[in-house]
Structure formats: C-alpha cells, structure tokens
Amino acid sequence: MSLVISNNMNSLTVQTNLAANQSSLATAMQRLSSGLRINSAADDAAGLAIATGLNSQSGGDGVAIQNANNASSLAQIADGALGSITNDLQTLRNLAVESANGTNSAVDRAALNIQAQQVIADIQNTASTSNYNGVNLLNGGFASQFQIGANAGQTINLSIANVQTASLGAGQGTGVSAQGQYGAGTTPNTVLTAISAGDLVINGVIIPQSLSTSDTASFSGTDAGGTITANASTATSAIAKAAAINSVSSQTGVTAVVDANVVGGSSMSTPATTSTGTVFINGIGISLQTSASFTNDANRNAIVTAINAYEGQTGVVATNTGSDSTGITLTAKDGRNVTVDFPTAGAGVISPSSTGLSTTGTFSGGYTLTTTSGGSIKIQQGTGTLANSGLQAGTYNSSQATVSSSSLGNVTTLTGMASGDMVINGVSIQASNAVNDQLSYAKQADSAIAIAYAINQSTSQTGVTATVNDNLIQGSAFNSSADAGKSATLTINGVATTALTMTGITSTDLTNETNAINAISGRTGVVASNDGSNIKLSAADGRNISMYWTGNLTTPSTSLGIAATYLSATAGSATQITTAGSYTLNSAGSISIGSTTGNIEKNAGMLPGSYGGITSGTFLSQVDISTVSGANLALTAVDNALTTINQIRANIGAFQNRMSATVSNLQSQQTNLTSAYTTITGADFAKESANMSRAQVLQQAGIAVLAQANAQSQQVLSLLR
C-alpha cells in the first residue's frame, strides 16, 4: 500500500461518517426532547402538510363545538320565553271562556277584559324583550346562520317567527295573496300577462316562467259566438303561475295555493222589454232571458239558474248579489280563467247592463303564498316586470294574511273612493277624504294614503289594517339622441327642476336628469335612481307623484325616460298627470273584499275575492273580551296563537336536538383527528432511544477510529530518519 500525506482517505471517510452520525444523533435527541417525529419540513414534508391540515380541522372542530353549544343556549332561551307566553295564553283563554258565560254582566266582562289586557301586555313584553347577547329572538327579525363545522358551508339556519301581539293569533294557512287580472275587450290575451323568468324573485330565488301546459282547465281559443278570442296562452292563469312558483318550492320554502277566481258583476238596469240572448262563458253558449215584467232580482235569479246549469262544462258558478249595483258574480272555484263574451251583432243580442254580468273579457284569478317554516316571504322584482305576477315587492310576515292593491295609476280623471266602493269582511268602508293626505300635491282623495286611512277607520270591525307602499314609477327606455341640443324642465309635485339640455349622450343625460330630480327631492318627496339605461322614481311615503314638463323636446318619453302614462307627450301645465301608488292589507284571517257600487277596481285598485288564505283569526293586540262575541273571537285567536307557538317550539326543539347530535359528532371527530395527528407527528420513543444509543456508540467509536486514521500519516516520518 502507498504511503502519501496529500490525502488521508481513511481520515476523510471517518470524518464523513462522524458527520452523518452526528446528524442522526441530533435528530434522535431532538425527537426525544420534543416528543415529535416531525420538527421541520425536512423531517417529512408530506407528513407535515397532512398533520397541519388535521390540526386545523381539529382546532376548527373545537370552536364549532363551542358555536353549537352557544346556538343551543340561544334556542333554550327562546324556548323558555315561548313557554312563558304559552302559560299567558292559557290564562287568556280561561279569561275568554269565563267572559263568554251568560252569567256575567257587562261590568264583569269589563273587569275580565282589564285582566286580559294585562296578560296581553305581558305577552308583548316577553316577545319584545327576550334576547340573547343583545339580539332579539321573538320579534320576527331573528334569522341567523350558525357555523357548526370547521370548514366553510358547514352551517345550519334558524329563524323564529314573530310572536308579538300584533302578529300572534292569525289562522293557520295564512299567507301573501296575489290579485288576479282583467283582460277587457275581444282580445284579452293582449292585456293578461304570464310570468316570465326574472319577473318574480321569492326569497332570493328566480321564479321560472309560467307555462300554458300547467293549466288544462282554463278555456283557450275562440268561442262559438266568434266575437272573442280567449287568452291564447293559459300561462296567464293563477293555476299556471302557482305551478311555476311551486316548481322551486324546495329552494324558496314557499308554496303557492290557487284561490277561487271571483268575477264581479255589472250595474244592472231594468230591461225595457222581454229579450232573449246568448252569453258565452268559457266558450259555452248559454241562452238567457230577461223580462220587463219581472223585478231585476227575479231576472238575476233566472240568469243564475241558467248559468249554473252549465257548471260542469264551464267550471263557473253564478251568484246573485241581491243588488242592482253589483249584479251577478261568477266564481271559478278551481281558480281557472273566466272568459265572458256578449256578442255585439246578430240575433239575440243581450248586454251586461241588462243581465248584471261582467263585461266582455277574460279574468284571471289570484293565488296565495304560504310557508310552514315560520320565516318571512321576501318578494322582489328581478330583471323583468313584477306586476305580471300580481304581487307587490316587500318582505312579508308569513303568519298573517296579506294582499296588496294594484297601483292606482293615473288618477287624473278619478274622484276618490266613495263609501261602499270597498267592503271588507262585510263592513262598508267610508269614502277616502283629501284632508287625510297631507303629503300629496294633487288628487289627495285618490291617493293610497287617503284610501289606507279610510280602511283603518274600520279596523276594529274588519280586523284588517292597511299600510301604504312605496309609490314607484318604472321608467321607459331612455334615449336622448333624437333631442340633442333641446331642453326641458320637469315639474314634480309643484317643484321645477333646473333646465335639462340634452347632449344626445344617453348616459350623460340620464345622470343629469337623476341629479336634477334628486336636487329637489327634499321638497317633492320623490327620489330618482337609474341603472344605466332606465330611470325610476320613488315616493317612499306613498304620496301621489304629479308631473308635467315644459320645453321643446320632440320625444319626451324617450328623452326623459318617463312613459306617456305618467308624463303627457304634450308640454305645459295643463297636461299634468298624477300617479297614485298602492297599499297592503294585513289581517289575522282571510280578507274578504267586495263592493256595493261595483267601482272597487276603478277607485280602490282591488278586485272582489277572498285573500290571504281561507282562515279565521284575530291578532292578540285586537282582542277584547268585554263582549260575548269578543270573547268568542278571543278563543279562536288564542287557539291559533297556541298552534303557532307549538310549531315554533317544535322547530326550536328539533334545532336543539340537531345541535346535541352535532356536538357529539364533533367531539368524536375531534378525538379521532387528534389521534391521527399524533400518529403522524408523534415520536416513537423506543425507536428513537435505540437510534440515540446506536448514534452515541458510533460517535465514540468514530472518534477513536479518527484518531487512528490521523496517526497513519505519522508513519511517513519513519522513512525520513
């Protein structure tokens, strides 16, 4: 073997082994001292990534357990408060039963009513003050999402219905009703509207279009009289619209129920002679006869008998209202469209005024939205036209009956709602009065404000309250290019905007008009907004919106974006048009709408019918047991309230059970995750102890061998002696 001193390979080899062994010894000592197999990514990069994920999951589960326990505590507080309300309701019911007894005098019932009002006040106090961490639980505003998992989307929702006395007591099955539509004339299909996708959004879900294939009951086509074409598409019917809504019920939590379609009659005059003619109802010709020798009531009875003989073919039942003003009503119990046709030529011509039947046209019915979840029903307009659905935008309490009027629209030629134009639950509503609207600039008696005020004067008798909705005017297509260089001034509710000079650039002119209208909104009560292509005017307090324009525009409807329906095409103050808004009726039970004059649709924006579900009830806030009849109404109200409370408590109880199961599952999952994490990251002490002992022995041996290897180079010196 050669003896060299430039490279001591044995020494270098030993040094390399010593370094590797030193690293192994350090690793073993680190693992034994930390208790972890993975102390850095270098130890096990993949294992570290897996362990980090498991640790995050375990930590998140720990927080989720706390969240679920907190949610359960919240539900327990709500349930305890509802238990207290239940006890109060039982007390109130006992008082009502006692008051209904014939042995009590008026003084006795008055004393019982005082106690009942105190109980009702206690219910209201509980409902308005019960809270968790400052969040009210029972006032109808509670709807929350609870994070019960470590990852996004692992949530559960809880909403609690309104149990305040102004909402509690409503009958089961109440809901939000849509009015029907009337398509006048010989081509009603040009007036009636189906729902298109985007017209209606319920609880954030777009309702698909209504389809004619969903309604096989309504008449479609031309009747044998040949003078009327019924709606070519039965997609306009309540049946088709309800089917469209119900197709997404699993997403909205809302179900639509078709209401009976009630068609009001016409004012009936005394026939001058005996006449015979034919009326076509849903395509079926029915021969009618009226006689001057009979009373109008007798003539109506004969007409009713004739029409009802064809009920099996038409699906329509006729009813004599007993009044010349309201004539004969027609009802399709299944909600199908009702088409009425009076031929205007040929032999045997007979008229609506001589029969008391409605005028020629097609009438679609309404439907009612209900929910069993206790949550609210939020109605919005999407990209289309909400009016096609017959509903008004808003968030509605699902535990009360609700129906909104149609927009009263252009009231320039109207004279206000007269006494008897509207009858609610058998009570004739007083005339609307201009003095009760201190907000509108013109046509105050025609406003939704004045009509709502008149309705509310009879609330104690009808159980129905009216609230005014926003008065909205949706603009038409905006395009000012044709009027570039021309100018106009808008006068809204008596206040003029600054002059608007059209640049011809639509976006610029749209913005300028919006800003000009909003600059005077403090005096007009009208606010403008735009979406880049249309302008919208809104009076949040429901006041009338009166407008006219002056200037030299050629096409004001497009240059100003306000349709001629709301703004005359002719400039000048003489063409001012006043537009009234709408109102909403609320009740604890069904809302029956009628008229003694036949002018309810024209002057009040309502169609006859029963709305809000076929239920009875009285809000607790309206309960008065000082009379026998009041005590009986209170019994119904309390029973309804108890049913509502029981449903809410059942929902809360189910929620608590889910929270308990969730906590149990999370605890088990967290335990298993911790075990899995430990398996990956934990050090094997037996193995690492052996590794350390081995490394220590090798370290000592290596040092000794290194000394020997280094000594080899000393042997070269002996050759030099």
User: Could you please report the per-residue DSSP string of 134-181?
Assistant: TEESSSS--EEEEE-SSSTT-EEEEE----STTTTTPPTT--EEE--E
Alpha-carbon span 77 to 71, nearest angstrom: 10
What is the percent of the chain where pLDDT is above 90?
Answer: 45
Residue 372 is predicted with a pLDDT of 67
Distances (CA, A) of 174 to 145, 569, 590: 26, 44, 7
Q: Which of 297, 322, 308 is nearest to 423 (CA)?
A: 322
Locate the DSSP E strands across 383-486: 394-396, 401-404, 409-410, 423-424, 427-428, 464-468, 471-474
Residue 84, burial from CB neighbour count under 10 angstroms (0-12, 13-18, 19+): middle
**Res 631 pLDDT > 80:** yes
Residue 187 is predicted with a pLDDT of 45
Going 608 to 612 to 613 to 614, the CA torsion angle's sign is negative
Phi-psi region of 532 (alpha: psi -120 to 50; beta: other; left: phi over 0): left
User: Do 223 and 280 form a contact (C-beta atoms < 8 A)?
Assistant: yes
Q: Which range is least confidently modeled, 1-10, 108-117, 152-161, 502-511?
A: 1-10
The token duo for 54 is 């498991």
**Res 1 pLDDT > 60:** no
Place of tokens 């004001």: 556
**Res 320 pLDDT > 60:** yes
Residue 240 is predicted with a pLDDT of 95
Count of beta carbons in the 10 Å neighbourhood of residue 50 = 16
**Res 36 pLDDT > 60:** yes
Question: Would you call 259 helix, strand, or coil by DSSP?
Answer: coil
Half-sphere exposure of 505 (CA within 13 A, CB side): 5
**What average pLDDT score do residues 363-379 get?**
84
**Res 190 pLDDT > 60:** no
Full-model pTM: 0.75
User: Do 431 and 454 form a contact (C-beta atoms < 8 A)?
Assistant: yes
**Res 571 pLDDT > 50:** yes
Alpha-carbon span 294 to 355, nearest angstrom: 13
Alpha-carbon span 177 to 402, nearest angstrom: 6
Q: Which of 606, 605, 266, 603 is nearest to 418 (CA)?
A: 603
Place of tokens 């046509």: 443
pLDDT tens-digit map of 403-452: 998 888 776 666 789 999 999 999 999 999 999 999 999 999 999 999 99
**Res 397 pLDDT > 90:** no
Residue 70 is predicted with a pLDDT of 93
User: Do 263 and 274 form a contact (C-beta atoms < 8 A)?
Assistant: no
Residue 151 is predicted with a pLDDT of 86
User: Do 270 and 298 form a contact (C-beta atoms < 8 A)?
Assistant: no
Going 433 to 434 to 440 to 442, the CA torsion angle's sign is positive
pLDDT tens-digit map of 227-253: 666 555 789 999 999 999 999 999 998
Question: Phi, psi (5° rounding) for residue 390?
Answer: 80, 5
**Res 185 pLDDT > 80:** no
Number of H helices, E strands in the chain: 17, 35
**What average pLDDT score do residues 614-640 get?**
89
Mean pLDDT of the chain: 86
Residue 573 is predicted with a pLDDT of 67
**What average pLDDT score do residues 513-536 get?**
93
Helices 685-711, 9-34: crossing angle, 10 deg rounding: 160
Residue 188 is predicted with a pLDDT of 44
- Residue 186: pLDDT band (50, 70, 90) is very low
Residue 16 is predicted with a pLDDT of 82
The token duo for 412 is 């320039």
The token duo for 690 is 């052996």
**What average pLDDT score do residues 351-360 get?**
85
Q: Which range is least confidently modeled, 152-161, 420-429, 465-474?
A: 152-161
**Res 716 pLDDT > 80:** no
Residue 712 is predicted with a pLDDT of 67
**Res 212 pLDDT > 70:** yes
- Residue 223: pLDDT band (50, 70, 90) is confident
- Residue 224: pLDDT band (50, 70, 90) is low
Alpha-carbon span 341 to 331, nearest angstrom: 16
**What average pLDDT score do residues 501-529 get?**
94
**Res 486 pLDDT > 60:** yes
**Res 572 pLDDT > 90:** no
pLDDT tens-digit map of 577-609: 899 999 999 998 889 998 888 888 888 888 888
What is the percent of the chain where pLDDT is above 70?
Answer: 92
Q: Which of 264, 389, 246 is nearest to 338 (CA)?
A: 264
DSSP 234: G
Alpha-carbon span 4 to 694, nearest angstrom: 33
User: Do 430 and 420 form a contact (C-beta atoms < 8 A)?
Assistant: no
Q: Which of 62, 56, 61, 75 is nearest to 659 (CA)?
A: 75
Q: Which of 575, 587, 523 is nearest to 551 (CA)?
A: 575
**Res 498 pLDDT > 80:** yes
**Res 82 pLDDT > 70:** yes
Which helix H or strand E contains 340, and what residues bound it? strand 338-341
The token duo for 270 is 């005394």
> Computed over its alpha carbons, how large is the radius of gyration of the chain?
40
User: Do 242 and 257 form a contact (C-beta atoms < 8 A)?
Assistant: yes
User: Do 210 and 244 form a contact (C-beta atoms < 8 A)?
Assistant: yes
Q: Looking at this protein, which amino acid is placed at residue 61?
A: D
Which helix H or strand E contains 339, and what residues bound it? strand 338-341
**What average pLDDT score do residues 547-555 get?**
90
